[in-house]
Structure 1
Amino acid sequence: VYTPCSVIDSKGCPKEPIWKISAVRVEHDPVKHRISYDGARISFLGAPILWLPGLSHPDGSEAGGGSGFLLPNIQYGRDNGAEFSLPYYFQLAPNRDLTITPHLYTEVLPALEAQYRALTDRGAWQASGMLTYSSRFAATAAAAPPPNSNKDVRGYFDANGRFQYGPNWTLSGSIRTTTDRTFLRRYDISRDDRLRNQANAERISENSYLSIKGWAVQTLRTNDRQGQQPFALPAIDYRLRLTDPLVGGSLQIQANTVALIRTAGQDTQRAFTAIQWDLRRYTPLGQEVTLTAYGRGDVYHTDEVGRTLTAVYRGNPGWSGRGIGALAADIRWPLIGNFLN
């Protein structure tokens, strides 16, 4: 019998483990760090749930990683019927692995799921997906297809990663997409009604920050039109902090721009630049004086406003802009000492 669970309670008395593997013969290979079984039987809470003629798995030591079957999953759903899945784990290298999971259903055709993970000297990334061949459920009951509707290839893809290039630059991104609006819910993968995809390059130093980002959204909502969903490309944010070489103080500069593009809707572009100067000084009597000068300029552009379905969200077509300027002085007099003592 093999089990990773405790077989004694807090008082040292024997107890039944949560799950265990029993077999006619059990062998441990100290070189390959694997445990092998002949006539294996898996039990959960004392009840046998699976019989296998042969089974092997890593022994759990630090050197015992390896390929093999993972725990099976059994569940029932109204749409797909009873489901049985048995993942198989491939250790491709100490820093890379692949998991293949076939899904068997009683009411629909099988599906195949895969996940790949990798760790490099610059970062980590993973990709997963699922693929099957089945009929598409309509997003609304009123538009439900007839029982003999044609089947189609359906699936989803999900990937993300983050990489570090030197002490300042970071690249990250994520992709989430599916073939139709009901696949993720029908196969109990996710209840999200929007899938966001994004890519971002960042540079961070002691006195500056730069972000260049782009993102897109796939809507799964019933009444949303995909053409109304925006692409943000590019979305740029830059910030810089300097020491004023003339009269002292600190100077902060910020520039930001974003373009929202729709294939069947209103397009909008915006950009602004802001500059703020601060000077802090102390008087001989202990007052703290802070002088601030601030300036900002914005520019906007909008077109295709007539393609926005909701009138209140329509902007004015063409170019527009604004400018803001401000001066401020702040005086404080911190007091410290003994009072009436």
Structure 2
Amino acid sequence: MRWLLFLFCMWPCFAVAQGAATLVADSVVLTEDKQLVASGNVEVLYEGTKLTATAITYDQPSDRLVIDGPIVIKAADGTLLVADKADLDPRLQNGMLLGARLVLDQQLQLAANQIDRREGRFSQLYRTAATSCQVCGEGPPLWDIRAERVVHDAEEKQLYFDNAIVRIKGLPVFWLPRMRLPDPTLDRANGFLIPSQETNTQLGVGIRLPYFVTLGDSRDVTLTPYLSEKTRTLELIYRQAFTNGNLRLQGAASRDTLEEGLRTYLFANGNFNLPQDVALRFDIETVSDPSYLSDYNYSSKDRIDSAVSIIRVKQNSLLQANLTYYQTLRDDETNSTLPPIVAELGYEQRLRPAIGGITHVEAGLDLSYRFSDLDGVRGRDVVRAGVASGWENSWVLPGGILASAQTGARLDAYWVADDAAFSDERLRVVPNAAVALRWPWAMTTATGVTHVIEPVVQAAASTALGGTPPNEDSTRNEFDSGNLLALSRFAGDDAVETGTQAAYGVSWTRYGNEGASSRLAFGRVVRDSSETDFTPSSGLSGSFSDWLIAGQIRTPDGFSFDAYALLDDTGEATRAASLIGWESRDLSLATAYIWQAADPIEEREETLSEWTVDAGAKITQAWSLTADGRYNVAQDRPVSAALGLRWRNECVTIDVSASRRYSSSTNVEPTTTYGISGSLTGFSVGRSQSGPAAPCRN
């Protein structure tokens, strides 16, 4: 009968300051020569470590444990040690194990003829084979490292190899006299990261070899030399964590054959939480020349911006301040006329008055500044200061009709410079009011399907008293489901809708009994007079807006469909967009299409028609494929395309990629890039993601 015998603290050899070990065995005998012999299904538990063996003999005079295998020692951190025989001290800190195998983090296994334990920290393995691949019988694994000696430092979590030979399917590939690698349980360590090879039609064949450096527990830097026949580049990523935020810097410096001189870029961003619920956000973006980011595939931006913002959000108030500097990389723009400097300061407070409803009060200050001295739009500088207040409330009327009302007014003061078309100072007051009615109808069928039909109508009126300011922030406007019932559908504050208008629409929503849902909505705006400040392609110009049509489908198996269109009275579209997506365990697919009519006022001389696709598929347990592309249908030419292929098993990951960027810009040349990278599971910092193991065959 198996029984629980003792606490090891009954013997001085097993007593330790932290506690006692527990021994369980089928049989325990205390001999006359002071040997404790436990045999049969022996288990020892001590501070999260579990040892199982066939027999354990403790010799009190020599204070040694002789353990007969098979021996399995599982530490609290997941480290697994297997051996045939062992001679250890009672605390398992020092000794020798024969025919042993060490498994780290259930990934990396090291098999050795002998393992010596020292100080409970160092394990010295002799005549060692290390691999994270599955080993089948006597055949060689996909890869392994043979070494005369391997030292595992359990405290520093490092592996040191002496006279190491890296083999692939048993074939020696290269030899190193000394090698240091992190074990898979390590979170951060100095050392080389996964290298990658890249072939670029502009830069030639190159290689990236990143090196990671820890600068304490809260800082690190990654230095990546990128070398090819046409460039010498050093890339840098610096990260630092603070108690109240974080900082990240990413940049590079290059000397190449594409441009003369030193080419550089720097992107920096930070997020910090300050006292009084204030959040500080900033980012800095700078580049030496317009084509550097695209030449090296660092970014697809054609305008970069450096900004700093302060935000404080409370239950009923919002305070925010933003300062942004823009720099254009487009060949048809200049920084001086962009405008490059835009500043915003705003405050909003929400109140609940005694009469019911919600009152909101706003105050704001905006600035747009151009470096150019040209008279007119290309040199104009504008400052706006404004205040606004409004009240809104809603009621449920008989029959389930939901009524709402809102009213308010805003006052804006403008100061304009470098534009003779506008006086230096302008005041404008805009009062407004609106009422809306909704009448939702709902029905549930016998099969559990719910249908909801909701017609809506709104009547609104507003007027502008005073001068007409320049329009800086409302030059691009769109008509969509989100602003059908808005008092003003301009994107910013400079332009406002005036006059009397009505908006009406209807939506139908279906909720399936298995989680599927669909929605279809129509809407339109009617005015008492023609609106001329909207562009023709916005769908909002004239006395009658275009018809807004929007639809949506969602299914529980991952399919989604969204569509949106603006149609005039003849059925011609001014704008249209759609997005189809499907995501399952082995397949993800997203494709989008957008169409916009030509509109010279929006600086779009030709029709925009573009299609994009983004797909990923898991072909087998080991193979996966990704693809994405972008095609300009109007100009009948591709914009970009990329293809990626990954093979991954339990011990190796290999990525192969190819991409092509087509460009009509004089700043950016068409480029094709090929890349390959690989990694061995088991030596990564942190736990590596591993793929499926191939089954062993007899």
TM-score w.r.t. the length of structure 1 is 0.76
Structure 2 distance, partners of 1:303, 1:47, is: 76
Match of 1:293 among 396, 402, 407: 407
Q: Which of 237, 252, 255 is 1:130 aligned to?
A: 252
- Tell me which residue corresponds to 1:226: 335
Matches within 5 A, 1:294-333: 294-305=408-419, 316=422, 318-328=424-434
Distance in 2, Cα, partners of 1:84 & 1:286: 68
Tell me what 2:352 maps to. Answer: 243
Amino acid across the alignment from 2:317: S
1:304: how far off?
2.2
Aligned to 1:268: 382
For residues 184-204 of structure 1, give each alpha carbon's deviation from its aligned partner in whole angstroms, at most 9, with x where no partner exists. Answer: 222232222111211110001
Unaligned runs of 5+ in 2: 1-128, 373-378, 443-698
Distance 1:255 1:188, change over 3 A: same
Unaligned runs of 5+ in 1: 138-150, 307-314, 337-341
Aligned: 1:215 with 2:306: no
Q: Secondary structure at the match of 1:192?
A: coil
Alignment correspondent of 2:309: 200
- What is the CA distance between 1:212 and its match in structure 2? 0.2
Measured in 2, the distance between the counterparts of 1:59 and 1:135 equals 41
Answering whether residue 285 of structure 2 is matched by residue 179 of structure 1, we say no
Equivalents in 2 of 1:170, 1:197: separation in Å? 17
Match of residue 93, structure 1, among 213, 216, 221: 216
Whole-angstrom distance in 1 between the partners of 2:427 and 2:267:
40
Q: 1:22-171 maps to which residues of 2 (within 5 A)? A: 22-25=145-148, 26-38=150-162, 52-61=176-185, 63-108=186-231, 110-134=232-256, 137=259, 151-166=260-275, 168-171=277-280
1:29-81 deviations in whole A, cap 9, x for unaligned? 212101233455667899988765543222121x5521111111211222222
**Mean Cα deviation higher: 158-167 or 228-237:** 228-237
**CA positional deviation for 1:236:** 1.4
Contact 1:194-1:219 at 8 Å conserved across structures: yes
Percentage of pairs with the same residue:
27
Measure, in 1, the Cα distance between the counterparts of 2:401 and 2:201. 73
- Structure-2 separation of matches of 1:228 and 1:46: 66
Q: Helix, strand or coil: the match of 1:189?
A: coil
- List per-residue Cα deviations over 1:307-340 (Å, max 9, x = no partner): xxxxxxxx6353333212234566889999xxxx
SS at match of 1:271: strand
Query: 8 Å contact 1:214–1:231 — kept in the other structure?
Result: no
Which is higher, the Rg of structure 1 or of structure 2?
A: 2
- Looking at structure 2, the residues matched to 240 and 76 of structure 1 have their Cα atoms a distance apart, in angstroms, of 56
Amino acid paired to 1:57: L
- Match for 2:255: what amino acid? Y
Q: Give the number of equivalent residue pairs.
A: 307
Candidates 366, 387, 391, aligned match of 1:258 = 366
On the 8 A contact 1:253/1:276 being kept in 2, the answer is: yes
Q: In structure 2, what is the Cα distance between the partners aligned to 1:158 and 1:86?
A: 21
